[in-house]
Amino acid sequence: MKSNHFAIKLILIAFAFLLVGGLVGYKLVEIQFIEGDKYRKIASDKTIRNYKIKPIRGNIYSTDGSLLATSVTKYDIYFDTKVVDDKIFNNGLEKLSHQLTLISKKSQDELYNYILNARKNGNRYLSIFKGISRNEVEKIKKFSIFKNGLIKGGLIVNKRVSREYPLGKIAERTIGYERLNSQGFFSGVGLEHGFGTLLRGKDGFEIQRKIYNGQWKALDNENKKEPINGYDIVTTIDSEIQDIVHDYLLEQTEKFQADHSSAIVMEVETGNIKAISNFGITDDGKYYEKLNYAVGESIEPGSTFKLAAIAAALEDQVIDTTTLVDTEKGELNYYGYKVRDSRKGGYGKIDVMDVIRLSSNTGIVKIIDSVYKNDSKSFSDRLYNFGIYEKVQESIKGEPNPKIPHPSDKNWNGLSLPWMSYGYGLSMTPLQILTFYNSIANDGEMVGPKFIYSFKKPGSTNEVVYEKRILKKSIFSKKTNNILKQMLYDVVNHENGTAKNIKSDYLKLSGKTGTTQVDYASDDINYISSFVGYFPANNPKYSCIVVINKPNKTLGYYGSSVAAPVFKKIAEKIQSKSPLIKLHSKNELFDKLKLTSNSDDKKIKIDNNKIDS
């Protein structure tokens, strides 16, 4: 009986073994053949990967060849202190700590204890250096312990590419930056982002196998794809002019303790932006390129818009330069709101030329209101016809649309027309204002501001040049344009001009002052001081705008005293780089130099067009 029970048990155990064996066998077959690809993929994913090879981002240059932005390869050094054999570590630590002092600012004792403590704590990723050069890496590879490499020496070298800006903070917001956000989209500001598609290049890829200590090694594979590096772009910015604008704008912004400021220099004929600077104040009273106010901040232009209002009336032939206007006592009343001149008591009866020279608020308002009161649509339409209602550039993102009121607007009212005429109730960016004034300097042709001259493949001499963008072939008649030029010349050079304080002994300047009230609905009124114009007046090469927002009122706030002097300094300094050669006749030379034929101090021989000394 007992033997039967024992036999049954053996049969059951054998059957159980057979069942388990069958199940194991089935599972092995399933893993190997039925789901083999799935599990092989899981294993492969942990040891094999497709790795993106990042391209080198293109460089950004100034038009004179200065490097504005570049990608630099840097290396970070780490130490796996646990992997090193005791004998190698103990025999080599003192020498290693001494060798590291050749690069590190730490002492040998500090480095010795730093590494020893890391070893005791089993640190496998001890930071040694960050952001060092390739040459320094090659030196480190020869140091004690590290010369044994990754597996025996614990040396870990990580390569990264960083973006550097050799000119520092100069034109920082215009050059800008670009980043890849967590959603996989690029964001940023300035030229870095505006031309990101050119600068980025295209990713490559390679297959890598995981090796010792979490490191990956590239496999030789015919499917490897090399990255395509980004294009280099050449901006229109001139580094010397940029320095000039940066220094003078910062100096005046600090002097008048302004909230923020901006300045732009544009080449008249081409629209090339030669310099652009912006400053905003920090909590501790320091200034830096906080935002790109020149491109992105819409402001009420104030008196700098008076010229556009006069231009509209001249083009519509409803006034001429002899038209007289009575500024009365320098104060007008519109629906309970007052328009005042800066000069108490007004200017009496003045003509249109003096309205601009003196920048009379009452004068411009009375003229425009009298001729367009019953046809305000014609006034707005004429302004639209000038092309000042649209954005002027596409290179830098964030430019707002100009706001030019029109009778078709829902919020148009009885104050709209008079307020527009002297630059209130509308808004434009400094760049948009400058583009309009540049058109006057350019004989009526409106060109779009251009920040990029060309792009090319790295190392190539073949470049793709961006053409001049003509926004409007002619925004005025020649007659109107000549009158406007004379007005702007008089603002600086006439005895009645609001900017006669910046009349230069070295070159002729033309332009218009602006002093705009802001926060005028509050008890604490502030001002925007501006000046916009061009030089040399007789043959314009550059146009320029200077805008200084909310200067300390106790120090000054008029455009003539705050912004205009910056314009003058910029113009004279740029002109000194390429001075005009003035020709004189023989008689003029004798008169100017007060020479006599008996002069013993210096003999000068003048033979028609030749002068020898």
Tell me how far apart the alpha carbons of residues 435 and 309 are, in angstroms, rounded to a whole number.
16
316-325, 492-501, 559-568, 601-610: range with lowest mean pLDDT = 601-610
Q: Note the pLDDT tens digit of each residue in 205-232.
A: 888 877 665 667 777 767 788 889 999 9
**Domains assigned to the chain:** 46-66+167-231 (3.90.1310.10), 74-160 (3.30.70), 299-451+469-498 (3.40.710.10), 583-613 (no CATH)
Output phi, psi for 268, to 5 deg.
Answer: -55, -55
Over residues 550-559, the mean pLDDT reads 96
Over residues 36-51, the mean pLDDT reads 64
Q: Note the pLDDT tens digit of each residue in 233-246.
A: 999 999 999 999 99
Over residues 187-216, the mean pLDDT reads 84
pLDDT for 334: 87
Residue 517 has pLDDT above 90, yes or no: yes
* Percentage of the chain lying above the pLDDT 90 cut: 69
Residue 300 has pLDDT above 90, yes or no: yes
DSSP E strand boundaries for 434-536:
446-447, 452-456, 463-465, 470-472, 510-518, 526-535
pLDDT for 587: 63
Q: Note the pLDDT tens digit of each residue in 376-396.
A: 999 999 999 999 999 999 899
pLDDT for 599: 45
> pLDDT category, 184, cuts 50, 70, 90?
confident
Tell me how far apart the alpha carbons of residues 371 and 349 are, in angstroms, rounded to a whole number.
17
Q: Are 544 and 265 in contact (CB under 8 A)?
A: yes
pLDDT for 52: 84
Dihedral sign from CA coordinates of 361, 547, 534, 452: negative
**Better-scored residue on pLDDT, 280 or 20:** 280
Residue 169 has pLDDT above 90, yes or no: no
pLDDT for 172: 87
Total Cβ atoms within 10 A of residue 406: 16
pLDDT for 17: 73
Residue 506 has pLDDT above 60, yes or no: yes
Write down how long the chain is.
Answer: 613
pLDDT for 181: 84
Residue 472 has pLDDT above 70, yes or no: yes
**Better-scored residue on pLDDT, 31 or 211:** 211
Query: Which tokens go with 137?
Result: 């890496």
Residue 373 has pLDDT above 80, yes or no: yes
Tell me how far apart the alpha carbons of residues 431 and 449 are, in angstroms, rounded to a whole number.
8
Q: Note the pLDDT tens digit of each residue in 251-264.
A: 999 999 999 999 99
Q: Note the pLDDT tens digit of each residue in 482-493.
A: 999 999 999 999
> pLDDT category, 601, cuts 50, 70, 90?
very low
Q: Are 444 and 476 in contact (CB under 8 A)?
A: yes
**Better-scored residue on pLDDT, 608 or 248:** 248
- Could you identify the residue written with the tokens 């603002």? 491
pLDDT for 293: 96
CA 181 to chain CA mean position, Å: 20
Entry pTM:
0.81
Apex CA 46: angle with CA 45 and CA 48, to 5°? 60
Query: Which tokens go with 30?
Result: 């399933």
Listed residue (210, 168, 231, 180) closest to 49, CA to CA: 210
* Burial environment of residue 11 by CB neighbours within 10 A (0 to 12, 13 to 18, 19 or more): exposed
pLDDT for 175: 92
pLDDT for 597: 47
pLDDT for 609: 39
pLDDT for 600: 46
Q: Are 559 and 303 in contact (CB under 8 A)?
A: yes
Taking the chain, what is the end-to-end CA distance rounded to the nearest angstrom?
143
Residue 613 Cα distances to 175, 329, 579, 593, 605, angstroms: 49, 62, 22, 13, 6
> pLDDT category, 202, cuts 50, 70, 90?
very high
> pLDDT category, 32, cuts 50, 70, 90?
low
> pLDDT category, 602, cuts 50, 70, 90?
very low
